[in-house]
A and B are shown apart, each in its own frame.
Chain A
Amino acid sequence: MQIDLRTVSIQPLRQTFDHLARRFGDKPASRYQEGSYDIQAAENLHYKPTWDPDQELYDAKITKIVMQDWYALKDPRQFYYSTYTLARARQQDATESNFSFVESRGLADMLPPAVREMALKLLVPLRHAAWGANQNNTLICGYGYSTIFTQPCMYHAMDNLGIAQYLSRLGLLLGDTEALDEGKAAWLEGSAWQPLRRYVEDTLVLRDPFEAFVAQNVALDGLLYPLVYARIVDDYLSAQGGSAVAMLTQFMTDWFDETKKWVDAVLKVAAAESDSNRAVLQDWIRAWSTRAASALLPVVEIALGAQADDAVGEQLADFRVRIQKTGITL
């Protein structure tokens, strides 16, 4: 039996703010809605940027993608600061237990030396790639249009930084500071890493926020994460006795599964907006994913050797199926 507590009941004058009532009707708004819709200044901007007087301070025209309402690019996770932070705090808790489990039981020392070496060779240089991803997502947040589209990019950028830091810790745990130095040297000079570094540097000069979104979050990470963390770490290395490594990268695996839902939702809505958007996205995804696949090939070879070609090919096929579902044919 439920007995309701009696409280003084007062009739509210209205349920929500005007800008939300215009979008959703006068009903109580969710905190995601309150914290995300129409909170970026839109009109009567005072001055042109001195850093680029051809732009507006908030400018939807700096990308080739055209949206009638940029607030249509909803995040299915409905992340605003609070829900985002709570989700990541839970994940960091799990990651922390994984690290201390590996550490306290000496699992790092029990790894077969070849597996440990491979993990270091493959994963440590990726901290720099994750930093590149941080740069791109920070740019999309800074210059992209509408909070709905840009706030998840800020969260994503901080995730990219978090991943770079977890990879650094992994390097320190399985190796030592030398492992980080060697990883950086490989990133800067090792032949296996140069196509990827070139790819990343080429994305760092993009100034169309949506193209940066495609090059980074759709194309590169859409191939890199499943190839490296699912195929190589979770499957291949685990089979060689390296499940400890998989424990240390669980965050990345879970993160990719979660964030790709958002990435796909953004693509789907932007593509459905117009044929010209779809065509632009198609060109971008085709060009960047082809490049990403070839840039990742020598990296995958570090672990899979001769089978790398097949692995990348299969992953590219999976990627095409995934993109197809967003209404974009490659």
Chain B
Amino acid sequence: MDMKVAKKKLGLKEKYRLMTRDLGWEPTYRAKDEVFPYVNYEGIKVHDWDKWEDPFRLTMDSYWKYQAEKERKFYAIIDAHAQNNGHLNITDARYLSALKIFLQAISPGEYAAHKGFARVGREFPGVGTQVACQMQAIDEIRHAQTQIHALSNYNKYYDGFHAFADARDRIWYTSVARSFFDDAMSAGPFEFMIAIGFSFEYVLTNLLFVPFMSGAAYNGDMATVTFGFSAQSDEARHMTLGLECIKFMLEQDPDNLPIVQGWLDKWFWRGFRVLGLVSTMMDYMLPKRVMSWREAWEIYGVENGGALFKDLARYGIRPPKGWDDAEKAIDHMSHQFMLGLYQWSFGTSFHSWIPSDEDMDWLSAKYPTTFDKYYRPRWDHIRKLAAAGTPFKNFGLAKLCQTCQLPVVFTEPDDATMSCHRETEYKGEKYHFCSDGCQHIFDNEPEKYVQAWLPMPSLFQELDGDIGAWMNWVSLRDGEDNGDYSGSRDQRNFDQWRGMATSNT
């Protein structure tokens, strides 16, 4: 008879090691370079993948269990939301513009992150790193899908949602977000991690996620806020992965520092430009506002970001190069953006509008040094034109920045009366930029950015400037999806349906 031998007690860390990194092995029948072909060309040196600290220790059985619980809750709530006309509980249908932009520009980004993390989840030669990336890959497809599912019911009743897949690939403003994710995915595995894992998920995510989900909560959007709560614990895992990744790279070899710093400079500015859309949502698109973009920047940018870069200073990391320019832009960007969106609203699959008196008073209070001085007069002028029956429309060609793909609508960091415009000549061609930050990014990798697909020039080359043909091509329904909210079908329907739901008429 066997003697019963007591089993060794395994600590959590040791047990997780056996469940993950002990599964891998050094290949001997094939060269390691063949199995992991992309890990060296960026110049990042890793001496010991075993030094990787697992940012979280989750085995698949627990993953399935926890995630399934969250899924059950999420779908129960959005089913109820759909069944009970939850869309009529939002503050006002103007709010939906924020969701339309989200579905067209951000949810496809979740999907891109899913693909990107699957790729790096295969390309890194360390099992611990791979497993963490793979879990993020499967989480990100969850986010893409739950967002589509949460917004699907709005599509049945409101315009602007129906062609999100076409808009993702063809409409002009989504290429801001698309080019951002394409840029990260076309980079090597380490740069991808700094771009998405660290800069986006760690440094900038709170500026995107918290305002959006709080905006949903403030404006009665049960579907979106449920998604937000459900994704929160995933996001927490993603943040720890992003942070571990940058620390790991910096600890492995001092030669990695300048490369990582360069990526941080680049991706901070890239991300900051994408967030311009969020600033507009916070300051202009929420009928019930959460806080101003300036206030959000103070909390999630200055305080959190400041603490983070202080923490990373021991590795020799300094705050990203564009940080000061970003700070100078904060009090201007949402206004400049919304003015742009309003004048090009013929070409957006969401509505914009002229802020009301009450809106403008709020904006003056939140932006005391800039709004009344620079932007209120312009809105007043636009309002006069609208009242006279000659609304301000710009059908002209918006000049787009070659890097971030936003229209060149910003002003000089130190002079809000001067429009900011930069140019680089490369191989006989002129390229335009919205800022020093974007110009630097181009100058560091011109061969990459000359490839950018710029939606407006393409439109004018291929469709001869035929706006109707362009609208068909992007599946934009003129008079329904686009233009001023005031007088739109969304406004009419929402007011009528809400009347049906709240009175006896």
Contacts and interface: CB of A to CB of B under 8 A. Distances in A.
> Which applies to chain A's interface (DSSP): helix, strand, loop or mixed?
helix
Contacts of B158: 13
B247 interface: no
B166 interface: yes
A157 B117 CA distance: 13
A39 B7 CA distance: 49
B448 A50 contact: yes
A47 B186 contact: yes
Contacts of A96: 61
Contacts of B37: 51
Interface string B120-145: 01100001001100110110011011
B500 A8 contact: yes
Nearest to A86: B68
A93 B61 CA distance: 8
Contact of A109 (B2, B30, B68, B122): B2
Contacts of B144: 35, 39
A113 B475 CA distance: 69
A105 interface: no
A81 B61 contact: no
B287 interface: no
A134 to B, nearest CB: 8
Nearest to B36: A204
B374 interface: no
B145 A35 contact: yes
A128 B175 contact: no
B157 A41 contact: no
Contacts of A180: 18, 22
A19 B4 CA distance: 63
B170 A131 contact: no
Contact of A131 (B23, B142, B183, B458): B23
Nearest to B6: A176
A44 B60 contact: no
Contact of B451 (A48, A143, A198): A48
Nearest to A80: B145
Interface stretch (A162-170, A235-243, A263-271): A162-170
A14 B138 contact: no
A43 B187 contact: no
A16 B165 CA distance: 12
B305 interface: no
A184 interface: yes
Contacts of B157: 10, 12-13
Nearest to B110: A39
A26 B308 CA distance: 49
A180 B118 CA distance: 28
Contact of B134 (A128, A138, A169): A138
Q: Which residue among B65, B145, B146 has the maximum number of chain A CB atoms within 10 Å of its CB?
A: B145
Given A39-B108, A49-B186, A86 B72 contact: yes
Interface in B1-55: 2, 4-5, 7-8, 10, 18-19, 22-25, 27-30, 34-35, 37-38, 41
Nearest to A183: B22
Interface residues of B, number: 97
A15 B131 CA distance: 39
A30 B342 CA distance: 36
B29 A154 contact: no
B179 A46 contact: yes
**At the interface, is chain B mostly helix, strand, loop or mixed?**
helix
A74 interface: no
A48 B497 CA distance: 48
Residue among A39, A166, A177, A201 with max Cβ neighbours from chain B (10 Å): A39
A172 B168 CA distance: 49
Contacts of A159: 60
A234 B84 CA distance: 50
B185 interface: yes
Interface string A3-38: 000011010111111110000000001010011001
B166 A18 contact: yes
A155 interface: yes
Contacts of B169: 41-44
B118 to A, nearest CB: 4
Contacts of A34: 145, 148-149, 152
A302 B134 CA distance: 33
Interface of B: 2, 4-5, 7-8, 10, 18-19, 22-25, 27-30, 34-35, 37-38, 41, 59-61, 63-65, 67-69, 71-72, 74-75, 83-85, 108, 111-112, 114-115, 118-119, 121-122, 127, 130-131, 134-135, 137-138, 141-142, 144-146, 148-149, 152, 155-159, 161-166, 168-170, 175, 178-179, 182-183, 185-189, 448-449, 451-453, 455, 458, 475, 493, 497, 500-501
Interface of A: 7-8, 10, 12-19, 29, 31, 34-35, 38-52, 57-58, 80-82, 85-86, 88-89, 91-93, 95-96, 109, 113, 127-128, 130-131, 134-135, 138-139, 141-143, 147, 150-151, 154-155, 157-159, 161-162, 164-166, 168-169, 172, 176-177, 180, 184, 187-188, 197-198, 201-202, 204-205
